[in-house]
Amino acid sequence: SQTIHQWPATLVQPVGSPLSLECTVEGTSNPNLYWYRQAAGRGLQLLFYSVGIGQISSEVPQNLSASRPQDRQFILSSKKLLLSDSGFYLCAWSVVSNEQFFGPGTRLTVL
Amino acid sequence: AQSVAQPEDQVNVAEGNPLTVKCTYSVSGNPYLFWYVQYPNRGLQFLLKYITGDNLVKGSYGFEAEFNKSQTSFHLKKPSALVSDSALYFCAVRPLGGQNFVFGPGTRLSVLP
């Protein structure tokens, strides 16, 4: 069966510090991978998606970047965090025509 | 532009009563439609989907949803609500042939004992 992992579960970082959030998927090959941010427990904002290794599409210009160094690994990064980067970050995967499966999320607080 | 609307921020229902969480969408072509549930500080969990076929779709935990093409709606329903159903519910669409999902803003369901 397929599983998706995210870490860390929670993170508190100072403004201006770097960020690296990791997402890995098991039990499937060549998935589409997605990063979302959820603010204040409400709507999802799509940040990045990837249809293959090294292929990244950015949906919202911002302070973040994403990379996909391996088929089932998706990394969200920032060189310098802003206060507005605080939120709940969700990774998800899907295959063509099917639903998305979400990871457990990372709660990021920027102070 | 593609969009999903969930007209109610909050739905309150008494335990044992039927519940409905509304969703309407605007997307070109025939979309795939989904419902997800989110409990506090957790990722979204898939409930059900409509791809094609019967307009009434049954999913997890006794939930079902009805696809109405003429009204471009995909309302989530359950005949008898449980307190444990209290959570945040998201409707989503995926355009045919598209890679991305468009999510609604979410509806908070509170089931009162």
What is the C-alpha separation between A74 and A58, in angstroms, rounded?
Answer: 13
**What residue ranges define each of the domains in chain B, with the CATH number in brackets?**
3-112 (2.60.40.10)
In this predicted model, which residue has the larger pLDDT, B2 or B57?
B57
Report if residue A26 sits inside a domain.
yes
Kindly report the nearest CA distance between residue B112 and chain A, in angstroms.
Answer: 20
B10 interface with A at CB cutoff 8 Å:
no
10 Å Cβ neighbour count for A110? 19
Residue found under tokens 């991305």 = B100
Does B44 contact A103 at a Cβ distance shorter than 8 Å? no
Residue A71 covered by a domain: yes
Residue A104 lies in a domain: no
Q: How far apart are the first and last CA of chain B?
A: 41
Contacts of B77 (CB under 8 A, 6+ apart): B18, B19, B20, B21, B63, B64, B65, B66
- Print the SS3 string covering B8-64: CCEEEEECCCCEEECCEEECCCCCEEEEEEECCCCCEEEEEEECCCCCEEECHHHCE
pLDDT at A62: 78
Kindly tell me if the per-residue pLDDT of B113 is higher than 70: yes
Residues B12-52: pLDDT tens digits?
999 999 999 999 999 888 889 999 999 988 999 999 999 88
With CA atoms as reference, report the closest residue to B55 among B67, B70, B71. B67
A33/chain B closest Cα distance in angstroms: 10
CATH of the domain at A65: 2.60.40.10
- CB distance from B104 to chain A under 8 Å? yes
Domain membership of residue A87 (yes or no) is yes
A46–B contact, CB cutoff 8 A: yes
What is the number of structural domains in chain A? 1
Substitution target in A44, A88, A89, A97 with the highest count of B β-carbons within 10 Å is: A44
A2 Cβ neighbours under 8 A, 6+ residues apart: A25, A26, A27, A28, A93, A101
CB A102 within 8 A of CB B43: yes
Chain A positions in Cβ-Cβ contact with residue B106 (cut-off 8 Å): 42-43
Residue A41 pLDDT grade (very low, low, confident, very high; cuts 50, 70, 90) = low
Nearest neighbour of A104 by CB, restricted to B42, B94, B105: B42
Domain assignment present for residue A83? The answer is yes
Confidence band of B1 (pLDDT split at 50, 70, 90): confident
* C-alpha span between B36 and A18 (Å, rounded): 32
A32 vs B: CB within 8 A? yes
Asked, for residue A81, whether it belongs to a domain, the answer is yes
Domain of residue A75: give its range.
22-94
Amino acid at B77: K
pLDDT in tens, B52-108: 888 999 999 999 999 999 999 999 999 999 999 999 999 999 887 777 889 999 999
How far apart are alpha carbons A94 and A83 in whole angstroms?
31
Within 10 A of B80 (CB to CB), how many other CB atoms are there? Answer: 12
Nearest to B31 by CA among B89, B73, B77: B73
Distance CA A83, CA B48 (A): 36
A79 in any annotated domain: yes
Has residue A7 been placed in a domain?
A: no
